[in-house]
Structure 1
Amino acid sequence: MGRRVSAQRIALLSSVAILLPLQALAQTADATGTTLAPIVLESGGSGVGPDATIVAKASRSSSKTDTPLLDAPASVSVVTEEELEKRGVTTLDEALAYTPGVSTDIYGSDNRYDHYLIRGFYSTGNATYRDGLPMYTGGDFTTNRIEPYAMQRIEVLKGSNSSLFGLSGPGGIVNAVTKLPQDEKFGEVYTTLGDGHVETGTDFGGPLDADGIWSYRLTRKWQNADAGIDETEDDRIYVAPALTWSPTADTSFTLLMDYNKRDGSTSHGIPLGSGIDSETYLGEQDFDNMDVIEKNIGYQFRHDFGNGLEFRQNARYTKLDVTYESVYNSADPATSRNALAVYGESTRFHIDNQLQYEASFGAFDSRTLFGFDYGRDSNEEMRFDGTALGVGDIRNPVYCGRSCVSFGAGVASESDLTTKGLYIQEELTYDDRLIFTVGGRYDHAETESTSYGTDYDAVDENFSKRAGVTYKATSEVSVYANYSESFLPVAANRSYFIGTPKPQEGRQYEIGIKYEPTGIDALFTAALFDLTQTNVAQWAPDYSAQYQVGKINVRGLELEAKVALSNRINFTAGYSYLDAEIEEDVDPTLVGNRPYLVPKHMASAWFDYTLPGNGARGDLTLGVGGRLVGSSYADNANTDPVPSRVLFDAAVKYQIRDNVALSANVTNLLDKEYISQIDGFSNTAYYGDRRTVLATLKYTW
């Protein structure tokens, strides 16, 4: 392997921290000593939250600057902390389930990874970000999952975006924003109970000193649960302390740490056509494991030099340990089954430096962003393939434990990915109504890998471009258009490739309109897009070689509405139409077909209403939601259809006292049994989660 670069050295070389004094703000009083009321300046809101309602006003994902959503020349959906709580979200899948353009529940009750598609493109492994820094999948099995309780919002930036974020797929990215220390004291503690589910957690913090220079936050969660099927696990321990030092209004430094332990399961599929109950467990109780220990330490630094110049730096180091043990389900469970064990270790270090300069020239306002980021992702996996005894009668399986599983010699694989990106962006506003956004980024990605005894090194370089324009027809309505590109090196064993592997590239054209009425807290958006990915890696029919002749095009329409009325009514709605087509393929018979897993139609709506309390009776909130996922195919040959499904969710919350609430959240209210995916290679059907009811008692202060 090549020479390793010290992450600490990179951090030191790229850090800039210059502290400037700031005059203290003083309260004013009249001659009689009466304190004047403070003047509150309204703005587009924070680009990272927290948000007061389900309606976000700004996002940092759209441009890496705090940009009002109305001004951004891109489609951005934000799921705020308020919405996460109202819907009782427990996974990233559930968080994104009501977001147009995003298809979740790809592998049903399978809880190994966060599976989702954005605008028709499978995005697992290369599209999940946290606080603007990537969470790439290491190797084939070693990765982690987002804990929603740790987040104060989850953003979806749709479409190609490598001009800002570097290596990513064409559909877009999901950026989870970590809960940060706040200026005021706050806290909550809760307990959640359900069938096979016990959970408790707390989240509290506030200033540590009278001047508010130091503030802290501690978020903790413990869960002992199954994954919807007997003998499966979804156990979690999450602990996240955070500390902010803010000596002046111009400078802040936040230290973020967390420990995230998840014990999950790998056996969720059912042999297709077997006719057995979808909740039957066919794995091995003592062997089936998807256990992950994740440790993070990082920071967020900001300093405003004055005169429009600000520097920001985010960094994070991650250590992952993964135990993946699984027995493959078989259509004939009386015969021997295949077994797999993978033990992985991964480390990540990513740092992003941003220098922002704002200036005005007559009718023009300029915001220029320069950035440099660096990443180092190292992964080691040891894989063992073996066999296990059958379970006998598939309707009454007999488990034999670890003793019936045997393996041959293991195969080691290692990979190191080093990325460097240099980017620039200009946001030029004319007369507060016309906003031009232009950006470009150069990426250098170096891969060193050993897989199945084969070594290979590769260097991929790319320059990604982006151009957009926003016209604010009124203070409430804006229309926009953009062109953007994506860049993603292939992550397969390149010894199987015919010819020189090229990065997969995406190009998107998009137009849209946004409406943010001044009279109510709401945001309505519509977008039309044309998105194409080229150089798609594909296997030959006999799996003897890989080619890069694939080309996929998705044209679509997305509609979204988020409304919060008078603290009593919340409403969200979304609709997506995806016209997806395989335009080029190594198998010419597939040209013109629909890519697998991509539904043509998706729709969702959520409504909740609060009945005000009266006398001794507290507020009562009732919520109901529905999700439609249209039919799709489980294969590119379009021979294995996956039926459409309509699912309903519900919620009820009773405010016992001002600071005590009892709530219940129900997913899949009608307990619908449905297939999310069919794996034709193993003849396995993956079923979605059945009805889940969770009751929560929460105390806040």
Structure 2
Amino acid sequence: MNNRSDRLGRLVAALLGGSALIALASPAMAQSNITLLDTLVVGGGRSVDDDSKSIVARSTNGAGKLATSVLDTPASIAVITSKEMQRRGATTTEEMLQYTAGTTTDFYGTDDRNDFVKVRGFDVGVIRDGAAGGTGVREEMYAFERAEVLKGANSSAFGSSDPGGSINYVTKRPKSEKFGEVYVTGGTFNHAQVGFDFGDNLTEDDTLSYRLVGKFQQANKEYDYARDHERFILGGVTWRPTDATELTVIYDYLNRDGVPGSGGHPVGTDLPRNLFLGEPDFNYRNVSRHTLSVLFDHDFGTGLSFGANARYTNSTSDFGYAYIARTAPGGGTIAERDFFANEASKENFVVDGRLQYETSWEMVDSRTLVGAQYNTDTSSSRTVSGKAPNIDWSNPIYSGAPTTPLALSTRGVPDATNTNKVTALYVEQDLTFFDRVILSGGIRSDWMDLNQRNNVTGAVTSATPTEITKRAALTFKATEEISAYLSYAESAVPAGTGVEPERGNQWEVGVKYQPEAFPALFTASIFELTKDNMTKRNPATLLQETIGEVKVRGIELEARAEVLENLSITASYAYMMSEIVENGVLANKGNQLSFVPNHSASLWLDYAVPSVGSMGDLTVGVGARYAGGHYLNDANTQSAPASIEFDAALTYELQENTTLELNVKNIFDEKHVAYGGFGADFYNPGRSITATLRKSW
């Protein structure tokens, strides 16, 4: 694990050198015909960028509920706009975050049940439109204008979360103009997909607008007997009775029909990716989710504004899985398998309301926000398991689904209903002195009522913790383009009714450079985060295990820039060192956390070739993703090797507003074990190719 390959050194040196060169040379490289994006201002003073026009964001709500310039935000935030998602062909959360510093993605290989993402070494929290309440299913990226990745603790603003960070998904909303696109996509593994996103005003005075988004996909996967079908629809209406008031209602429906994975491959083997060692009649994964969102903003015109979000979600999901559990004793090509199945349902309602007041005295500007949130969540889950027939991986013969009912699993509480209610009050305050020094802070109290009912025994366990979390930061704007900050933030998350809540904190110091001459953002940060009373779910047993205290220290460098009229760059590098400080019930003191590579780096370049004669515009994109070697378990007995993967994209303008797009992921079909050592190995995703014909207006 301590060997550093030459290619890592070359990649990091090129990445850092290139980023530094861009930063130093930016004034000279800026072109006079490069224009900065206008910032859109909607009801309540909430500002968002036009994310379809640029890969660089200038405003964010990711660090708190106060809309703030990215330059003035005292935290590391990576904003992935819809333009960046489209350019790279990112269709999942994992693909979207592959070029973001400090993130680890897709660490369960072909397991596609959920979005598997870690930020700064910890599971990522999920936020949608500024309100927490994830449903635990894979998100559909086409539903969102952007994703704001906040690095570090943020419970003082959004509630329960790990100290590593959170993702705030920003839903597509109606616009007060006519717009739209339709597309059709085909690709490897019989991938067929169509989609549309369009809207317009319903009234001549722009007071009523609508938007309709859809995606329908029929596809297989790289392994046999796999499917990846999806239906997604989103519809929204926005009412603007006055310039100061906006009400939006959005409904979306997501349905997925897939498989949970290939069943894995025997540990230590190197078998074809397409080899399926599960059961064609039993490997299934279904998801159905309905979501209704209401968003309201009103500006009273005296420095006082009000905003509120409400969201109701109802989801059901199930999966069945036959997988390799162990290699049969005595050698040979026989593997032992297990059956594992689950069915779950979840109902969530969250409402968040806040008052914001802005005022000034002499050389001091003040922004104060006071809010309340109520979140109720009811979920049921039933898990069964049993022995499956052995399989010969050299000549697999499938036996079918289980012929007798499976028994309740021995992992955790296999049949339970959880009812959780959380009421919260929070305050945020920003004070800006002389337009240079910004003091910001926040405090939040969450009153939790957690209940779990064992549906077999009828036993009920409960907990009523109260968690107070805080945030404080100092930002100094050296110029209108450069700022530096020091911040402290806390996190808290209930691990369950039978264990104490996990608590974390983070110190961070950073510097940002956002030139006015052209769209760009360069950031550098150093951080140390600590999590106490840490409880982890062992991926092999699914049991909660108390680790104790862990620390993660690191450095992150990140750049997004449109440095020339025809050249844009996304670059990142992260160094992280994790340590289990207190071992709890496990003898892992001094070890590193699993799935946390010490080094990671990425680089994506887009180069546009202007049209000549009858030829249309051509944009070529190339990217590289490096992940250093890392451990697969906290005992540090299993590890994954360092790896580098390359991606590419090409966009050709057939005619005005009509493009042909080609995306290739993992060009050279790099293959390595992304997760394994516990009975089976799971490989990283292989090469995939898609072509898209897109018409916009």
The aligned residue for residue 417 of structure 1 is: 420
The aligned residue for residue 181 of structure 2 is: 188
Distance 2:335 2:637 in 1: 28
Q: 1:334 to 1:685 in 2, by over 3 A?
A: closer
Distance 1:184 1:685 in 2: 51
Distance 1:443 1:530 in 2: 25
- Answer yes or no: is 1:273 the counterpart of 2:268: yes
Q: 1:489 to 1:145 in 2, by over 3 A?
A: same
Distance 2:334 2:677 in 1: 21
Question: For the Cα contact (< 8 Å) 1:387–1:405, is it kept in 2?
Answer: no
* Shift, 1:685, TM fit: 1.2
Q: 1:116 to 1:273 in 2, by over 3 A?
A: same
Which secondary structure state, in structure 2, belongs to the residue aligned with residue 385 of structure 1? strand
Question: For the Cα contact (< 8 Å) 2:132–2:159, is it kept in 1?
Answer: no
* Shift, 1:408, TM fit: 3.5
Equivalent position amino acid for 1:316 in 2: R
Distance 1:241 1:546 in 2: 40
* Shift, 1:413, TM fit: 1.1
* Shift, 1:568, TM fit: 1.6
Aligned pair partner of 1:259 in 234, 253, 258: 253
Which secondary structure state, in structure 1, belongs to the residue aligned with residue 464 of structure 2? strand
Q: 1:299 to 1:341 in 2, by over 3 A?
A: same
Question: For the Cα contact (< 8 Å) 1:239–1:258, is it kept in 2?
Answer: yes
Question: For the Cα contact (< 8 Å) 1:388–1:404, is it kept in 2?
Answer: no
The aligned residue for residue 151 of structure 1 is: 144
Aligned pair partner of 1:476 in 477, 481, 506: 481
* Shift, 1:335, TM fit: 6.8
Q: 1:693 to 1:549 in 2, by over 3 A?
A: closer
Q: 1:662 to 1:607 in 2, by over 3 A?
A: same
Equivalent position amino acid for 2:179 in 1: F
Aligned pair partner of 1:329 in 324, 332, 346: 324
Distance 2:542 2:347 in 1: 32
* Shift, 1:403, TM fit: 5.5
The aligned residue for residue 122 of structure 1 is: 123
Equivalent position amino acid for 1:152 in 2: E
Seq. identity, %: 38
* Shift, 1:509, TM fit: 0.5
Q: 1:136 to 1:433 in 2, by over 3 A?
A: same
Written as runs of structure 1 = structure 2, the 5 A alignment for 1:51-130 is 51=51, 52-123=53-124, 127-130=125-128
Q: 1:168 to 1:550 in 2, by over 3 A?
A: same
Distance 2:367 2:312 in 1: 30
Equivalent position amino acid for 2:360 in 1: S
Which secondary structure state, in structure 2, belongs to the residue aligned with residue 502 of structure 1? coil
Distance 1:300 1:543 in 2: 41
The aligned residue for residue 449 of structure 1 is: 452
Aligned pair partner of 1:176 in 169, 173, 179: 169
* Shift, 1:590, TM fit: 1.8
The aligned residue for residue 383 of structure 2 is: 383
* Shift, 1:276, TM fit: 2.4
Written as runs of structure 1 = structure 2, the 5 A alignment for 1:209-248 is 209-248=203-242
Aligned pair partner of 2:202 in 204, 208, 225: 208
Question: For the Cα contact (< 8 Å) 1:339–1:387, is it kept in 2?
Answer: yes
Distance 1:340 1:427 in 2: 51
The aligned residue for residue 488 of structure 1 is: 493
* Shift, 1:637, TM fit: 2.0
* Shift, 1:240, TM fit: 0.3
* Shift, 1:261, TM fit: 0.2
Distance 1:674 1:336 in 2: 23
Deviates more, 1:544-553 or 1:363-372: 544-553
* Shift, 1:248, TM fit: 1.1
* Shift, 1:390, TM fit: 3.0
Distance 1:280 1:307 in 2: 66
Equivalent position amino acid for 2:258 in 1: G
Distance 2:104 2:335 in 1: 36
The aligned residue for residue 20 of structure 2 is: none
Which secondary structure state, in structure 2, belongs to the residue aligned with residue 106 of structure 1? coil
Distance 1:93 1:149 in 2: 14
- Answer yes or no: is 1:689 the counterpart of 2:685: yes
Written as runs of structure 1 = structure 2, the 5 A alignment for 1:352-431 is 352-391=352-391, 393-402=392-401, 404=403, 406-408=405-407, 412-431=415-434
Question: For the Cα contact (< 8 Å) 1:387–1:406, is it kept in 2?
Answer: no
Equivalent position amino acid for 2:295 in 1: Q
Aligned length: 643
Which secondary structure state, in structure 2, belongs to the residue aligned with residue 163 of structure 1? helix
* Shift, 1:549, TM fit: 5.8
The aligned residue for residue 132 of structure 1 is: 130
The aligned residue for residue 315 of structure 1 is: 310
Distance 1:544 1:612 in 2: 54
* Shift, 1:593, TM fit: 1.2
The aligned residue for residue 10 of structure 1 is: none
Which secondary structure state, in structure 2, belongs to the residue aligned with residue 70 of structure 1? helix
Deviates more, 1:583-592 or 1:98-107: 583-592
* Shift, 1:589, TM fit: 4.2
* Shift, 1:442, TM fit: 0.4
* Shift, 1:405, TM fit: 6.2
Question: For the Cα contact (< 8 Å) 2:546–2:586, is it kept in 1?
Answer: no
Equivalent position amino acid for 1:484 in 2: A
Which digits, 9 at most, give the CA deviation of each residue in 1:155-192, with x for residues without a partner? 10110111101111110101111111111111111111
- Answer yes or no: is 1:699 the counterpart of 2:695: yes
Which digits, 9 at most, give the CA deviation of each residue in 1:495-528, with x for residues without a partner? xxxxxx3211101100000001111111100011
Question: For the Cα contact (< 8 Å) 2:64–2:158, is it kept in 1?
Answer: no
* Shift, 1:384, TM fit: 2.4
The aligned residue for residue 526 of structure 2 is: 528
Question: For the Cα contact (< 8 Å) 2:273–2:683, is it kept in 1?
Answer: yes
Which secondary structure state, in structure 1, belongs to the residue aligned with residue 390 of structure 2? coil
* Shift, 1:697, TM fit: 0.6
Question: For the Cα contact (< 8 Å) 2:38–2:49, is it kept in 1?
Answer: no
* Shift, 1:135, TM fit: 3.2
Question: For the Cα contact (< 8 Å) 1:75–1:157, is it kept in 2?
Answer: yes
Which digits, 9 at most, give the CA deviation of each residue in 1:614-651, with x for residues without a partner? 12110011110000001101112212121011000000
Where in structure 1 are there 5+ consecutive unaligned residues?
Answer: 1-39, 138-142, 495-500
The aligned residue for residue 597 of structure 1 is: 595
Question: For the Cα contact (< 8 Å) 2:545–2:585, is it kept in 1?
Answer: no
Which secondary structure state, in structure 1, belongs to the residue aligned with residue 71 of structure 2? coil
* Shift, 1:290, TM fit: 1.2
* Shift, 1:579, TM fit: 1.3
Which digits, 9 at most, give the CA deviation of each residue in 1:114-173, with x for residues without a partner? 0011111133xxx01111222345xxxxx3221011111011011011110111111010
Distance 1:523 1:690 in 2: 32
